[in-house]
Structure formats: structure tokens, C-alpha cells
Amino acid sequence: MTWTQIYDPMNNLALSSFFASIPIIVIFYLLAIRRTPGQIAGAIAVTSAVLVAIFIYNMPVEIALKATGMGAMYGIFPIFWIVVTAIFIYNLTVETGQFEIVKDSIASITDDRRLQALLIAFGFGAFLEGAAGFGTPVAISAGMLVGLGFNPLYAAGLCLIANTAPVAFGGIGIPIIVAGQVTGIDTMKISAMVGRQLPFLSFVIPIWLIMLMSGWKATKEVLPACLVTGGAFALLQWYSSNYIGPELPDILSSLAAIISLTLFLKVWRPKNVWRFPNEPAPTISIDKSNLTFGRVFKAWSPFIILTVMVILWGLKPVATMLDAVTLKFLIPGLDKVVMQIAPIAKIPTAMAALYKVNWLSAAGTSLFIASILTSIVLGVSPSRFIAIFAKTFKQLTKPLITIPCVLGLAYIMNYSGMSSTLGLMLAGTGHYFPFFSAFLGWTGVFLTGSDTSANALFGNLQAVTADQVGVNPIITVAANSSGGVTGKMISPQSIAVATAATGLVGKEGDLFNFAVKHSLILAVIVGIMTYVQAYYLTWMIP
């Protein structure tokens, strides 16, 4: 028995799109207006999606529930597994007192909050995105900023917005690789095109972050540092994406940004040291003589070990070896039951429903092994190790509800065809499609929390529609990634990770409101850029 997706169940694409958007409207309303806690908003939104799938799209009840359940399982593993292990490592450094040394070592570079945000939220966060992705950068960098003394809402919001620049090349370039697989377009050409769009954002994001933190007057004081950081990142992002490939842009760009800013701060300092309003100035000056190489290295060792492990796990030979022991489960009654048809699929295609427990190759497993090594280096006993882990898990009980709900929402919208309905609505904009192609990517990442998933969901639709409107498909497929990164900061999955990392569980609505206008403005910028490149700057298309 199979069930074929219906993309226009109301025989009116505008009306069908309205019904398809109900779950999105619900979660927007609950988070942005009602400021509803994430676990409640997620549960209501996923319930509304299941009801629309059953009663509007005529999806059989059993298939709808199984699709939602499969998404929820992926929410638990690997997503929640990443969150709990990332925050566990941070908690180990705090509980052992090592984070105080980390704070002092960063303050010895600069105790200016603006510059700390550039180093941690933008630079280190981008490095973690490139090495691991899937929530790791926000969980780690936001937790570090809170530990440094940042207001939790600002720490979470800044890390979400900073994570715009590197997302398209995250996880060792997997979003671009997937875009090439689903469209048949040369991966290197997609990489190059994204590398001719995102660097413009990457150059601006550091300035954007500091203006958001401190206003324009205070931003002018550190404008040279912003230009150095954004310039180094953008230049390496452009070069590596065009001449090396999609795997390394984030790694190389983030290292260039961190090193450039650190060296620049040795010869330049802002006129004033900026801290948050009502934040007390440091009362104890840092004794740099106590910051010996050994003490600093030991304090930073959890993050050094973490970095080594996620890079090691990202290497193809290692990943292939570890994937050999992956447990795979076909979901009966869902696998090969749902049929995708044109224009979403080139030919009628049965959707696979394979749940993989890649328990060794998962990024969360690399972080858990890093936590074991960290405990050995820091001298944490097995009993204390277990106690801190239990404390971390208890800290994350509400996200354990939120994350499966929002992943269930993504899966039911994908399997029912609701996501495709929204995509077709945007694809019907004709000559203006290059502008809206960025919003198609934005929609995909908002729904799934992943640029990789958005490319898998809408990549082929982008290519087919581009051919129909007479535009080079390379640019619209690239825009799916470039526009998608602007939706990452307000994806319910990202919001849940950020609130879990900063102790803001229950304040998901506040964080959503903090980021939503920036998400939309940046999406418009990418849309305009894509439109201009498609029709007026065609020489920029590889």
C-alpha cells in the first residue's frame, strides 16, 4: 500500500498554502506573541501539523503518526545527544573551577564584551559549526559567553545571529554536498556560488552583532576590530569555497578571523572598555603572572580536546569506519509508503523511512568521548563525573520535550507534502523567483533546523523552477543554502538548543523575538543579492 503526496489539496494553491502554513503560524504566534514556553509551543504546533496532514492532505492517520514519531526519534538522537554532551563538557569546566581561568585568559586578551563576542560567538562558534554543526556551536559558545558574564538572552541571541555566516558550509561542507546530490549540479559550482554570496554577509555580521549589543556609538569604537574580523573571515570563505571546495571554508575562515583579531588586539585597543549596562566593572585585576602556559592549557583542555575530537570525527576515513557499526531500522508502514511526484521529484519516488542510530559516528558521541578525556585531564572521579552528567541531564528535561516536538513538526510537514506546497507557492512567483528562492531556503531551515535538510527538501525544486523561469539553476540552488542560513537563528530547534545552553528554558518566546527581525532582514538582503546576480551580474555565476 502506498500513499501519494498531494501538493494542492484545495485545488487552489494559495488556499492550500494557507493550510500548509498553519503549523508555522501557530508556532510563530505562540513564541513571538504569547511568549509560550518552547515545550508547550512545540507540542501544540506539531499537533496542529498532524491534524492538517490528516484532515486537509488526506494523509492516513497511521502514516502521519509514524512520520511524526520518526522525527521525534531523530530529535532525541542525534540532536539532543549533541546538546546534552556539549553542555556536559561546559559544566565539567565550571564544576572543576577551570572556567575561571578560561575567563581570565580571555580577559587578558580583552575584557571588552564587544571583542569577547567577536572571539567567541563569531570566531569560535564558526569553527565549531564547520567541524561539527547540528547545534554544537550555539550550545558551546553561548554557554561560554554566559560563563564570561554575558546576559543570557544576549549570549544566546548573539550566538544564533553569529551562526549565520558559517551554516552553509557547516559539518565539513555537508549542506553543499547534499545540494549537489539532489540536483545533479556540480558540487564545486554550488560551493563557488555560495562563496560569492555569503562573504558579503560574513563581512557585515561582526558589525551587526556589536550594534545589536551596544548601539552604533559604541560600535564605532571597535569598528577596526570588526573590519579585521569580518574581512579575514569573508576573504578566506570566498577563496576556499571557490578554489578548495565546500569542506573547509568554515574551518579556515574562523581560524583566520580568530588569529587576525588576536594579533590585531596586540597593537590596538578601543578607547573605552564596554560592558553591559548595570554590569559592575571588574573589581579584581588579572594577575597575568598566574596565567602560566600550563594552567591556561589545562583550563582550555576541554575545548581543545572537543575541537580535536569533532575534527577527527569529521574526517571521511574515520566517519566511514565508525559508520560501519551504525544500527539501521526501517520504519514499517512508512518506509517506501509515501510517494513524491513531480515537480518535487523528477520521477515518482518512494520516500525512504530509515532511522539510523550512528552511535559511534554521531557528533554527540565524539563530544561524550571528549568529556571522558576531559575528566581524566581535570582529575574528575567517576562518581563526580556521573553526578555532573546527571545534573546536566536534569537541567535539560524541558528541551528533551521541545526538540523531539520540533523535529516531529519538520518530518510531518515533509512527509505530508505541506513543505512542498509552500515551496511551490514561492516557486510560482515567475520572474521574481530568484528573490523568493532565498525565502524558500529560509523556510526549509526554519522548519528543519538544518541547511542540509533544507537542501534535500527544496534543492530539486529550486533547480526545476529556475529552468522554467529562464534562470541559471546554480544560483537558485546556492540561494537555498545562502537564504537558509538566515532562518537558522529562529528555527525552533536552534532556539531550543540556545535556551538550554544559557539557562533560558521557558523563555523561548523572548529569544525568538530577539532574533526574528534580524532573520527576516538578512533573508531580504540575500534575496535581493540573488535577484541582482541572476539578471544583472550573471558574470558572477560559475
> Of the candidates 91, 188, 187, which has an alpha carbon nearest to the alpha carbon of residue 146?
91
Q: CA–CA separation, 488 vs 485, rounded Å?
A: 5
Burial class, 55, CB count within 10 angstroms (exposed 0-12 / middle 13-18 / buried 19+)? exposed
Q: CA–CA separation, 236 vs 23, rounded Å?
A: 39
Is 4 strand, coil or helix? strand
Contact 146, 488 (CB under 8 A): no
> Of the candidates 102, 537, 66, which has an alpha carbon nearest to the alpha carbon of residue 291?
102
Concatenating the DSSP letter of every residue in 352-365 gives P-EEEE-TTTSHHH
Q: CA–CA separation, 324 vs 210, rounded Å?
A: 45
Torsion of CA 332, 335, 338, 339, to 10 degrees: -150
Q: Residue 33 has what pLDDT?
A: 83
Q: CA–CA separation, 451 vs 421, rounded Å?
A: 19
Q: CA–CA separation, 412 vs 420, rounded Å?
A: 12
> Of the candidates 248, 169, 164, 254, which has an alpha carbon nearest to the alpha carbon of residue 200?
164
Q: CA–CA separation, 274 vs 277, rounded Å?
A: 9
Q: CA–CA separation, 511 vs 532, rounded Å?
A: 32
Burial letters for 223-234: b for 16+ Cβ neighbours within 10 Å, e otherwise? eebbebbbbbbb
Full pLDDT tens readout for the chain, 542 residues: 899 999 999 999 999 999 999 988 898 888 878 888 888 888 999 999 999 999 999 999 999 999 999 989 988 888 788 778 878 888 898 899 888 888 778 778 888 999 999 999 999 888 878 766 666 788 888 888 888 888 888 889 999 999 888 888 886 687 888 888 778 789 899 999 999 999 999 999 999 999 999 899 999 999 999 999 999 999 999 999 999 888 778 888 998 999 999 999 999 999 888 988 877 665 445 666 677 889 989 988 988 888 788 778 877 788 889 988 889 999 999 999 999 998 878 789 999 999 989 889 887 898 899 999 999 999 999 999 999 999 988 888 888 888 788 778 878 988 999 988 887 887 788 899 999 999 989 988 887 777 877 887 778 778 878 887 889 999 999 999 999 999 999 988 889 888 888 888 888 889 999 999 999 999 999 999 999 999 999 999 98
Contact 340, 418 (CB under 8 A): no
Q: Residue 282 has what pLDDT?
A: 55
Neighbour count for residue 196 (Cβ, 10 Å)? 21
Q: What angle do CA 305, 306, 308 make, to 5 degrees?
A: 65
Q: CA–CA separation, 314 vs 312, rounded Å?
A: 5
Q: CA–CA separation, 463 vs 204, rounded Å?
A: 29
For the entire predicted model, the pTM comes to 0.79
Provide the 8-state DSSP code for 279: P
Provide the 8-state DSSP code for 346: S
Contact 254, 130 (CB under 8 A): yes
Q: CA–CA separation, 503 vs 511, rounded Å?
A: 12
Q: CA–CA separation, 496 vs 505, rounded Å?
A: 8
Is 349 strand, coil or helix? strand
Torsion of CA 147, 151, 156, 157, to 10 degrees: -150
